Amino acid sequence: MNHLLIRHKVSDFTTWKASYDTHAASRASAGLTELNLLRSIDNSNEVVMLFSVADISKAKAFAASDDLRAAMQKAGVTDKPDLYFLQ
């Protein structure tokens, strides 16, 4: 099974989470299923997400998409996300 791990910081977790939730259909269309959504103990605005990946090509296309970039900007992501495709 393939996975995608994402880590980034946000300006405000509550605002980010509301925006993240509205983007669920796009993640599902890319074959991503959320397994874990975690926050750093030391910085509650640092977020780590783990997804299972049904189709690695779709997931990589989604990760590189302008749609995701715009959604992250709108949600208040404040740094360059770290993305790791894992197996």
Per DSSP, 2 falls in state E
Q: What would the two tokens of residue 8 be?
A: 């980034």
Whether domain 2-86 has CATH 3.30.70.100: the reply is yes
What does each of the 87 residues of the chain score in pLDDT, given as a tens digit? 999 999 999 999 999 999 999 999 999 999 999 999 999 999 999 999 999 999 999 999 999 999 999 999 999 999 999 999 999
Rounded to 5°, angle at Cα 24 from 35 and 38: 35
33, containing H or E segment: strand 32-39
Q: What is the pLDDT of residues 26-50, one digit of tens each?
A: 999 999 999 999 999 999 999 999 9
Domain spans, the chain:
2-86
- What's the confidence (pLDDT) of residue 18? 97
> How are beta strands 82-86 and 46-53 bridged, if at all?
unpaired
Sign of CA dihedral 22, 50, 29, 74: positive
